[in-house]
Copies of this chain bind each other. A is one copy, B any other.
Amino acid sequence: MKALVLSSGGIDSTTALCEAVEKYGKDNVISLSVFYGQKHTKEIISARKVAEYYGVEHIETDLTNMFVYSSSSLLSSSKEEIPKEEYAEQLKTTGGDSVSTYVPFRNGLFLSAAAAIAISKDCDVLYYGAHADDAAGNAYPDCSEEFNEAIGRAIYLGSGKKVKVYAPYVKCNKAEVVKTGLEKGAPYHLTWSCYEGGEKPCGKCATCIDRQKAFSLNGAKDPALEE
């Protein structure tokens, strides 16, 4: 059995990678990171470091061109500012729509690209770090449990029943993900979550807020704030 893990360099996918290495052994795990035109490359650098930490094969690819028509505030091509408030606040003004940092069908596209690579590299399972907090209130519709089931079925069938998708945290909140990672010793000191590409995490964007909350609910300090 071999696993391909979508690794963004953040908390959730690093925890997923940690679990995959524990289960399949480092020689049977491939880490895949996708650049897609973000405003910075800090996440990719983190993903690279995490793969090095575990000694797994690491693949980087680029899907920027698929988002050239998007106005997502996460993209360098967008002039929109990244909101400095938590998702729950942002969702009050979207009218049920996704948040401005939603990148159109990103998870679906990344999983499909990962499926193509997984088939070619003889991987049986595809890990990704979607969790329930991101799906809440439709902030990121491609993080929900029902989306995960549908894309999992599409990839299983479309790959000729060769590749299964596994989202270990799809029913968990971020604090539960961090709890798992802390127990298993995931290298959170190497990760990057902040939407901005500053020297230190900004502490104000939704993902910074969520991350800090998740550590604090576990009575732990975020190592990214310490260095």
Question: A residues within 8 Å of B by Cβ?
Answer: 61-63, 65-67, 69-71, 97-98, 102-109, 111-113, 115-117, 119-121, 138, 141-142, 144, 146-147, 150-151, 153-155, 157-161, 163
Instruction: Tell which of B61, B65, B121, B150 touches A157, judged by Cβ atoms closer than 8 Å.
Output: B150
Contact A153 B155 (CB under 8 A): no
Q: What is the chain B residue whose CB lies nearest that of A97?
A: B160
Q: Is the interface of A mostly helix, strand, loop or mixed?
A: helix
| Cβ distance A38 to chain B, nearest Cβ, rounded Å | 15
Taken together as a complex, chains A and B put the C-alpha atoms of A161 and B98 apart, in Å, by 11
B residues within 8 A CB of A65?
61-62
Contact A116 B158 (CB under 8 A): no
Taken together as a complex, chains A and B put the C-alpha atoms of A150 and B156 apart, in Å, by 10
Copies of the protein in its oligomer: 2
B residues within 8 A CB of A120?
67, 69-71, 104
Q: What is the chain B residue whose CB lies nearest that of A36?
A: B116
Contact A157 B147 (CB under 8 A): yes
Q: A97-B160, A104-B120, A146-B157 are in contact. List 18 more A-B contacts (CB 8 A).
A: A61-B65, A62-B65, A66-B116, A69-B121, A70-B119, A98-B160, A102-B160, A103-B116, A104-B116, A104-B117, A105-B116, A105-B159, A112-B112, A141-B159, A142-B157, A147-B157, A150-B151, A150-B158
Q: Known: A66-B116, A116-B70. Contact between A147 and B154, CB under 8 A?
A: yes
B residues within 8 A CB of A67?
116, 120
Q: Known: A66-B116, A112-B112, A119-B70. Contact between A158 and B154, CB under 8 A?
A: no
Taken together as a complex, chains A and B put the C-alpha atoms of A7 and B155 apart, in Å, by 22
Instruction: Tell which of B70, B151, B153 touches A158, judged by Cβ atoms closer than 8 Å.
Output: B151
Taken together as a complex, chains A and B put the C-alpha atoms of A144 and B142 apart, in Å, by 23
